[in-house]
Structure 1
Amino acid sequence: MPIDIATIKKVAHLARLELTPEEENQLSVDIEQILAWIDQLDEVNTEGVEPVIHMHDNINAYREDEPHNDLTRDEALLNAPQKEGGYFKVVKVI
């Protein structure tokens, strides 16, 4: 599938890239090679192969979302750069 320079320029503009004419020509060749490589996938026999949705068989292998308080206020403020009265002290932003 030939990629013309106009397409390269359009994609470069959308990606906010400034390409030299030499880079445009090289990119056109590179993209054609990539697309030719991808076209080789059409030659692979995938008859009877299940589509891969996940790389593993685990479904929703997350823990239950149960609230708990493992961190005390003093532990939370331990590394605070500034604290006052048991709270984080921050710069006033308006």
Structure 2
Amino acid sequence: MSVTKKDVAYIAELARLKFGDTEMETMTVELNNILHYIDKLNEVDTEGVQPLSSIHDESNVLRADIEKTSISTDQVLLNAPDRQDRFFKVPKVIG
């Protein structure tokens, strides 16, 4: 399979990209190199190879879910530079 400049122009249009002539040529070569590499990968014999979701055999190590008491709202608000009722008061960010 080979990619032409027409193919690259179509893909660029779909992605809303604009390429100059030099960039179009570069993208055509690079996409063809990628497809050539994929063709090489397709030639590899993978018969009997189990699919992997990860290269590691580790599984999640989870801690026990132990209920603990939490600090109160008043204790949390002691760290607030400014507060209003039960809430942190911060400067307005959105105009």
Say whether the fold is shared (TM-score over 0.5).
Answer: yes
Cross-structure match for 1:47: 47
Given the alignment of the two structures, is residue 8 of structure 1 paired with residue 8 of structure 2, yes or no? yes
CA shift at 1:82, angstroms? 3.0
- The change in CA–CA distance for 1:18 and 1:71 in structure 2 (over 3 A counts) is farther
Compare relative contact order (CA 8 Å, sep 6+) and give the higher one, 1 or 2. Answer: 1
Distance 1:79 1:9 in 2: 57
Number of residue pairs aligned between Structure 1 and Structure 2: 93
Shift of 1:80: 3.7
Once residues 67 and 16 of structure 1 are traced to their aligned partners in structure 2, the CA distance between those partners, rounded to angstroms, is: 51
Q: Where does residue 22 of structure 1 map in the other structure?
A: 22
**1:20/1:75 CA distance change after superposition, 3 Å:** farther
Letter in 2 for 1:20: G
Amino acid corresponding to residue 47 of structure 1 in structure 2: E
SS at 2:45 equivalent: coil
Range moving further from structure 2, 83-92 or 33-42: 83-92
**Structure 2 length as normaliser, TM-score?**
0.69
Residue segments in structure 1 that go unaligned for 5+ positions in a row: none
Q: How much has 1:58 moved relative to structure 2?
A: 4.8
TM (norm. structure 1) is 0.70
CA apart distance, 1:66: 6.5
Alignment identity in percent?
A: 38
CA distance in 2, matches of 1:13, 1:52: 35
- For residue 32 of structure 2, what is the aligned residue in structure 1? 32
Q: Does 1:77 align with 2:43?
A: no
Q: 1:7: Cα distance to partner?
A: 1.5
Change (3 A) 1:85 1:8: same
Q: CA RMSD in A?
A: 3.0
